[in-house]
Amino acid sequence: MSKNHIELGQELGIFVIPNESGSGLPLFKPNGFIIREELMKLMREVNTKAGYQEVWTPHLFKIDLWKISGHLKKYKDRMFIVGKGNERYALKPMNCPGHCLLYKSEIRSYRDLPIRFSEFGTVYRNEQSGELLGLLRVRSITQDDGHVFLREDQIEEEVNSLLKNAIEILSLFSLKDFKIKLSTRPDQYIGSIRLWDRATKALKNCLDRNKLEYEIKEKEGAFYGPKIDIDAKDSLGRYWQCTTIQLDFNLPRRFKLTYISSDGKPEVPVMIHRAILGSLERFIGIMLEHYQGKLPFWCAPEQVRVLPISEKFIDYAKQVKEKLSQFRVALDDSNATLDKKIFNATKAKVPYIVIVGKKEMESKTITVRERDGKQLSDIKIEEFLEILKRKAALRD
């Protein structure tokens, strides 16, 4: 019987949501921190190849910023607003206004575009208590966020690249069955219908030219622009929304963003909002249920556990652990029986269990039990190390 991510998160020491911290505000334990870091490492590699520059913006801004962006009018019920004296601030529900300010901080030329900013920015949304669910719906959301500022003639190439990257990355997690959705102008929106129509047509053209099947979700776009969402099917047959690609003609105008065109005149850029994993919290929840806690080797918090058969072989077990130390390896030197140690490592869903005893110590080898039950006997440590290196390199 499958377990939900809350049960798995507790069993594997991934996260907790104590009453004292507040609903929807998860705390990640060391094991959860490792998973988050591995996901960010993956996305940093992807972003670097795609030409993104990583930035950082504060967790809150003056209320005036959210008036300019339109969030205060269209999104106020979901915002946390604070103040002291005459000053009012809001915790950011989205990173895009900060990225607009970064773009605006310099004079831009048409030759500079596209300009791509990425940020693992934590945003805060006042989701209703009845909507909160473990990591799948939270109030503190760390996005693998990115914003692209570009010319209108660059939209198709950029969106094509984003679609390709998204499918490749989701496939790393054995998520290969997708539903693509195009969401159109909602009832509450900013900007002119003319700009909305241009943006929607641009996204539709990208999907049509790539011959991708998609469904249209009427009135489900963001308040500032239409979007493409990619839902991925997990091992239990459920679809999860992961990637979002949103096309925005409106925020650049509200922030008075420009670039100098080839004829020397100021032009307004187009803005793409994109997140491939969606949010780290939600994606980790999806991963836990999709893999039922048996995470891939490259992002497993504990990758290898070394088990000496008895205390006589602890010194050799320590030598083995040291030789494997470039990976996340632990040593069980407790007084428990070997069967109990194997049970504990299996329960912790460790990908590789290394067993050492008299035979292994004398031959300077190890016995390896894989998580799926396969066993490798009398294998040299160096040979096993090469296997691990290949799996890590391929993110297998």
Which residues are catalytically annotated?
96, 125, 143, 145, 147, 227, 273
Supply the DSSP symbol for 95: S
- The DSSP annotation for 311-343 comes to GGGHHHHHHHHHHTTTS-EEE--SSS-HHHHHH
Query: Do 145 and 119 touch, CB atoms closer than 8 A?
Result: yes
Give the torsion sign (CA, 230, 161, 274, 247).
Answer: negative
User: For 280-303, what is the HEC assignment?
Assistant: HHHHHHHHHHHCCCCCCHHHCCCC
Amino acid, res. 364: K
CA nearest 95: which of 127, 49, 60?
Answer: 60
> Is 81:90 a contact under the CB 8 Å cutoff?
yes
- The answer to whether the beta carbons of residues 8 and 278 sit under 8 Å apart is no
Which CA distances in Å does 359 have to 197, 314, 356, 364, 378?
A: 72, 14, 8, 8, 8
